[in-house]
């Protein structure tokens, strides 16, 4: 009972701070809308940035292919046993072709990738320098590695260089790790500068394109493509679970790194492989999105319009991407604004600590390419009324 009393106390503290999370009652999805607790709402909390998850024609084509191919719904084993289906090979070869890199490796999720790659490559003799706003999976992978680690100030390459100067000669290898599009602020890393720094200091550069792949670059390969830095980054990580409307993740790299990860990455070795049906769908959506440059341009245009309107109203709206956060500060104001949006028929969820720093709670609006300005143009008025 003492243990359960402790747990009750922690839950009560979360409730008092307006941080208690509950699983939402999600119903049917239909185009731009989603049903939550029986209410239809405009869905602005999805990572389906290109709207591929709602592409009925694409889904119908895949279902037909399933009938012909007879895709298995499980692999029943790890890849190093019997789970290494030929669809893995096709998907990884396509990634290599698109990125123009020697090797690719597919994982079960972005979390699997980030908690596995860093511990496989870095150890007690090494140093990991991580952007302060990197995702929890990168933080966890860093901790598991046992390497020395420091966080440089967000997007502050001067601070990063200072840390690298101090580290000279003290470590076996130094790793620089960053997201490309930061998931909570919606801003972009300076990949050209990071690539220059990594070359100058002889570091290893790892970039997580979870929120950049699909929405940036001529072929949707992410910020690395649009900045011309694909060849300069040692490991580029991407996910199939967002813009590519599937499940899983990937990394592109040199062959020697792929071989090493296959032999040392615990979250790769000790997990059941993805089902062939999922791999085939990922390959289909990956190829489809390469043709969606018009949609990418449209997505960035409506995001810029929404951000501009909100800034005109005096709100703090960081970033420069399809992720449009409205910083409210307190947990109470974020939860209250989410409720105002709900009443207005919009799903815009409150994001609170520890996902974001203390006193930086916000509403995070995730836009999608299948939205038009008429779908979202009224939202600044709701936010203005809700925060006045």
Task: List, for residues 258-303, the tens digit of each pLDDT value.
Answer: 999 999 999 999 999 999 999 999 999 999 999 999 999 999 999 9
Ramachandran bin of 61, using left for φ above 0, alpha for ψ from -120 to 50, beta for the remaining angles: alpha
Q: Which CATH number fits domain 72-289: 3.40.50.10490, 3.40.640.10, 3.30.830.10, 3.40.50.300?
A: 3.40.640.10
pLDDT over 90 (residue 65): no
Considering the domain 19-50+292-387, what is its CATH architecture? Answer: Alpha-Beta Complex (3.90)
Give the C-alpha distances (Å, rounded to integers) separating 229 from 92, 181, 217, 221: 20, 15, 11, 11
Output the six-digit token pair for 360: 């930086």
Which residues, in sequence order, are bridge partners of residue 127?
148, 174
Domain extents for the chain? 19-50+292-387, 72-289
Q: For the residues of 74-102, what is the DSSP string, one character each?
A: ---S-IIIII--HHHHHHHHHHHHHHT-S
CB atoms within 10 A of CB 177: 28
pTM attached to this predicted model: 0.94
pLDDT of residue 1: 66
Which is nearest to 273 in space by CA: 74, 13, 123, 42? Answer: 74
What is the per-residue pLDDT across 217-266, written as a single tens digit (0 to 9) for each?
999 999 999 999 999 999 999 999 999 999 999 999 999 999 999 999 99
Q: Is-contact 113 107, C-beta < 8 A?
A: yes
What is the per-residue pLDDT across 326-385, written as a single tens digit (0 to 9) for each?
999 999 999 999 999 999 999 999 999 988 999 999 999 999 999 999 999 999 999 999
């Amino acid at each position: 009972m003492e243990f359960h009393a402790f747990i009750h106390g922690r839950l009560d503290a979360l409730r008092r701070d307006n941080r208690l999370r509950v699983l939402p009652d999600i119903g049917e999805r239909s185009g731009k809308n989603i049903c939550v607790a029986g209410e239809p709402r405009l869905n602005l909390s999805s990572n389906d940035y290109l709207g591929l998850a709602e592409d009925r024609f694409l889904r119908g084509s895949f279902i037909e292919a399933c009938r012909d191919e007879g895709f298995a719904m499980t692999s029943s084993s790890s890849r190093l046993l019997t789970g290494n289906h030929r669809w893995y090979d096709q998907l990884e070869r396509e990634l290599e072709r698109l990125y123009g890199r020697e090797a690719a490796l597919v994982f079960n999720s972005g979390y699997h990738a980030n908690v596995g790659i860093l511990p496989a490559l870095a150890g007690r003799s090494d140093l990991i320098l991580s952007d302060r706003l990197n995702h929890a999976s990168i933080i966890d992978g860093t901790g598991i590695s046992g390497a020395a680690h420091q966080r440089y100030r967000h997007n502050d390459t001067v601070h990063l260089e200072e840390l690298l100067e101090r580290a000279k000669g003290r470590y076996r290898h130094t790793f620089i790790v960053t997201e490309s599009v930061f998931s909570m602020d919606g801003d972009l890393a300076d990949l050209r500068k990071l690539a220059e720094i990594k070359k100058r200091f002889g570091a290893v550069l790892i970039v997580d394109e979870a929120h950049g792949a699909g929405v940036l670059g001529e072929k949707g390969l992410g910020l690395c493509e649009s900045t011309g830095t694909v060849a300069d980054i040692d490991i580029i990580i991407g996910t199939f679970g967002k813009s590519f409307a599937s499940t899983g993740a990937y990394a592109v790299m040199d062959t020697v790194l792929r071989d090493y990860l296959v032999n040392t990455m615990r979250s790769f070795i000790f997990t059941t492989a993805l089902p062939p049906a999922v791999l085939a769908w990922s390959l289909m959506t990956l190829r489809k999105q390469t043709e969606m440059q018009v949609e990418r341009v449209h997505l960035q245009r409506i995001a810029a319009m929404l951000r501009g309107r909100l800034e005109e109203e005096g709100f703090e709206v960081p970033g420069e991407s399809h992720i449009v956060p409205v910083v409210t500060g307190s947990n109470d104001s974020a939860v209250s604004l989410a409720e105002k949006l709900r009443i207005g028929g919009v799903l815009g969820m409150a994001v609170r600590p520890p996902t974001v720093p203390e006193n930086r709670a916000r509403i995070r609006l995730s836009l999608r390419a299948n939205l038009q300005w008429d779908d979202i143009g009224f939202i600044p008025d709701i936010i203005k009324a809700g925060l006045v």
